[in-house]
Chain A
Amino acid sequence: MASTAPSTRVSLPTEWRDFFALTKPRVMTLVIFTAICGVLAAPGSLHPVLAFTAILAIAMGAGGSAALNHWWEADLDAGMKRTRNRPLPGGRMRREDARDFGIFLSAVSICLMGVAIGWLAAALLLAAIIYYAVIYTMWLKPRTPQNIVIGGGAGAFPPLIGWVAVTGEITAMPLLLFAIIFFWTPPHFWALALFVEADYAKVGIPMLPVVAGERATRRQIMAYTLVLAPVAIAPWVIGGAGWLYGSVAVVLSALFVVLALPVARRRRDGLTDKMLPEKRLFKFSIVYLFVLFAALVADRLAAYQGWLA
């Protein structure tokens, strides 16, 4: 991994855009969105400047850990079509620069969160960065086919941290938001892994379809979808959200199950299979998370205004 890679010779200074690319801006949109949802849905209020700072710190922490992920996985990225033009495998940046940038961004994000918001939120942010950059990227991703399940935990931190930034305590609701993203990640990512399987196999990452085969992956997609449904509805059941969120969660989760069923039942029809049900499930899973969290925010804001019983 990091120790076996040749260092890249770069004579020109790295473009700032390449440093920005290290933070995985596309992944960041989901991080920022779920963090904003956590801040808005939490009971209580936060000064707008502090709310902005909390979300900025979460985004910077995510960017820092993404840069560390780029640094560690530069060799793997070079072997995959989807990632071979990233700044490090593309030879546009020195490896140590990516590492230092990641550490710096992570450290600044934790200090910013601690000083401006509170040290519980900062501790959770530190835990999220260590979870993603060390436990997931360096340790478990190359070792277990359940890597996606574990990786889901890293993506599940932002709404939890956003919520805790407002309330200052960890309660059932932010833990449920964590659980929703945690159980959403496997069906979301394995649907993608089914149609980009060849790439992961090439670089030796033990993705479930590569190690356990396609049938097992399809069964696991169904299993996690069935676990996700009650977890997504739970905030309504425990009284943490109202009927607006509850009804959206029920409809979306039912749709998720309906779309996962053909993925679980079918088998690839030769090399020419277009994998349409898998692609449909992958696209829907993104809509699912955005709409579910948007519904939670709408529900909570309406409740705080007294518009919902």
Chain B
Amino acid sequence: MKKIIVACGGGIASSATVASKINARLKDAGLANKAKCEPVDIKSLSSYFAGSDLYVSITPVRGKVIDAPIPVINGMPFLTGVGTDACFKQIVEKLGL
């Protein structure tokens, strides 16, 4: 089981929205038993990297995503609803599912 994490200001609203959308897509793609996405609090983010396989960032600073010890992708499409398909494809590829 691969673990995807997504972080926002409290690990409650934005991150939970994105996680819920990613999990729904994983389910639709028949991959729910291979990967799972979990929303986390950005204030505790560094303690979640160990044990996770992919970080979906929704907090870009001037177009840059943060440096992380695990692969990172830009997850903004899951918030805006624009380009979600391509973004999900990227997740599947990065995880090698």
Q: Does A pair with B?
A: no
**A-contacting residues of B (Cβ < 8 Å)?**
none
